[in-house]
Structures are given as structure tokens and as C-alpha cells.
Amino acid sequence: MIHMEPSPTPLKRNASLTQRSQGIDPMHVQPQPGQLYHLSGPGRAGKSMRCVAEHWVSHALAGGELVHWVDGACRIDPARFIPVLEALGTNVESCLARLYLSRGFTLHQLDRQLERLADEIAITRSSMVVVDGVLAMHGDDAISSLESRLLLRRHIGFLRQLAHRWNVAVVVITGTARSPHTDPRCFAYIQRHAQNHLEGVWRGQRRNKRLHLHHQRSGLHGQWLPFFNDPQMRFLLPTQRLNPLEHGSTVSVLALRHPER
């Protein structure tokens, strides 16, 4: 199981950031095993908070863990994991092979995927589950408000049971309660049943626009700057490769031969 406890020192091996007043260390507010973690932020279906979940997932994959990502917003792009995995010095291809992706194009497809998660986790023993855009399809005209609420209760029940039974860190991503695309009652229901909450807001304008995070349980807050190039907040690369190469490169050079004239 991936180590989820926040480190008391900013010099933890493979830590992503050093703690400074300028920003927040995402590893200090990371998901805990056995808990439901709610990420909410601006953008449709909480688009702005997706980078935070991707950062945590990349570290789990680099540590050899398996992760399930359920895409309820049709936004997943595995290429976004590559920069973090490369910075961690791990094998990108093998890491992405441990990422299990599923996508629901309708609310009922998402329902079936969440229902099957328990059986899948029993096989894969994954340490983390991310459900992106869990409320994205609840605004469908074909779904009544009553059916929407009933399905949400069912989904949160699946996820809470999954976290408790298999000691899995479960992360759900939504927009904010103020978003016109988010049902305030559905949002409030997730807030009540999640053990941890991380909220993001945009601050600044244009080029100075930054994502500011607030962790409600601990009170930690600060800017999201995982790759900020500043001497007071530098990205800490691991001291050694996570997957050192045991064999030489198998790439060979092909000689080019031009026809004689």
C-alpha cells in the first residue's frame, strides 16, 4: 500500500515540493487510505483540480502502485502524466501500464463502472481510485432530479464501502457549489460524506493567474506550484532512479546506404 501519511519534514525522499509560505506541498494534503477525498474547483466538472489528482497518481505509479481512474467527464489524457513521471526518473511506459482507465459516456454507464470497482480492486489490489467528474452527467436532460440524487447516493455508497473494505484512497473531483453546472444539493451530499476536502480557486488575472488551494481539515492553504522554478520552491528530484536500468540499450543504429550513381 502506498504511504499516505504526511511527512513532518520537507526533505522526505521523493517528495514533490519543499514547504514554503509561497505555496502548498501537495504531499502534505494527499489522500489517506480508507478515506473519501473530495476535490472541488473552478472549471466544468472541476477541471482545474485534475492536475492535483494527476500529481498524486503519478507518484503512486512511480512507487509501483496500481491506480484506477474512472473518467466521468471524458477529459482524461494519459499524456499529462508523462512530465511528472519523467521528472521522477521512472520508466514512463511501465508506470502507465499500471494505470487502469475506464470512461462512462452516460450516467448509467458510470453507475455500472462504479458498481464493478469492488470486484476489480479485489483482483488488482490498487492503492488509489480517482473518479473524475462524478457529477458531470447528473445535469443530463434525460435524468430527472430524483433519479440523479438516488444514483449519487448509490455511487457515494459504493465509494465509501470501497475505501473502508479495501483500505483504498478514493478521490472524487467535482466543480464548485457556485458553478452553474453543479447541482448544489449533490455537491452538499458529497461534502457531508467525504472525510477530506481540498478546494481550489483562481487568483490573479491573465498571466498572473494561479490556482490557490485550501485544505479544510488541516487549514493548510497556498498556491499550487508543483514545477515553479524558484530557488525557494524547487522541485526535488529523487536521489536515485526508482527503476534503474539493468541492461544496456537495445537500440541499434541502422546504416544508410545510398545507391551509387
Residues 124-134, mean pLDDT to the nearest whole number: 95
The more confident residue out of 250 and 60 is: 60
Q: What nine digits make up the cell of 152?
A: 449519487
Q: Give residue 238's pLDDT.
A: 37
Q: How far apart are CA 143 and CA 132, in angstroms?
A: 19
Q: Which amino acid is at 64?
A: G
Q: Give residue 227's pLDDT.
A: 57
Question: Per residue in 34-62, pLDDT tens?
Answer: 999 999 999 888 899 999 999 999 999 99
Q: Give residue 257's pLDDT.
A: 52
Residues 204-231, mean pLDDT to the nearest whole number: 79
Indicate if the pLDDT at residue 155 is higher than 90: yes
Q: Which of these, 217, 174, 172, 175, lies nearest to 196 by C-alpha position?
A: 217
DSSP structural state of residue 12: -
Indicate if the pLDDT at residue 3 is higher than 60: no
Contact 68, 202 (CB under 8 A): no
Going from N- to C-terminal start, the domains of the chain cover 27-223
Sign of the Cα torsion 176, 196, 55, 101 reads negative
Indicate if the pLDDT at residue 107 is higher than 70: yes
Residues 69-79, mean pLDDT to the nearest whole number: 85
Q: Which amino acid is at 62?
A: A
Q: What nine digits make up the cell of 35?
A: 478515506
| Residue 17 binned pLDDT confidence (cut-offs 50, 70, 90) | very low
Look up the pTM and report it: 0.77
| Residue 85 binned pLDDT confidence (cut-offs 50, 70, 90) | very high
Question: Per residue in 86-102, pLDDT tens?
Answer: 999 999 999 999 999 99
Chain mean pLDDT for the chain: 81
Strands (E), 185-259: 196-203, 210-215, 221-223
Architecture of domain 27-223 in CATH? 3-Layer(aba) Sandwich (3.40)
Indicate if the pLDDT at residue 19 is higher than 60: no
Q: Look at 39-43, 53-57, 211-215, 228-232 and tell me which has the smallest mean pLDDT.
A: 228-232
The more confident residue out of 205 and 67 is: 67
Owner of C-alpha cell 482545474:
48
**What residues contact residue 173 under an 8 Å CB cut-off, 6+ apart?**
39, 40, 45, 46, 49, 50, 53, 73, 130, 131, 132, 133, 134
Could you tell me if residue 142 is left (phi over 0), alpha (psi between -120 and 50 degrees) or otherwise beta? alpha
Owner of C-alpha cell 498556491:
223
Q: Look at 15-24, 35-44, 88-97, 229-238 and tell me which has the smallest mean pLDDT.
A: 229-238
Q: Give residue 208's pLDDT.
A: 84
Q: Give residue 22's pLDDT.
A: 60
Helix (H), strand (E), coil (C) string for 22-86: CECCHHHCCCCCCCEEEEECCCHHHHHHHHHHHHHHHHHHHCCCCEEEEECCCCCCHHHHHHHHH
Owner of C-alpha cell 490498487:
126
Q: What nine digits make up the cell of 247?
A: 541492461
Q: Give residue 105's pLDDT.
A: 85
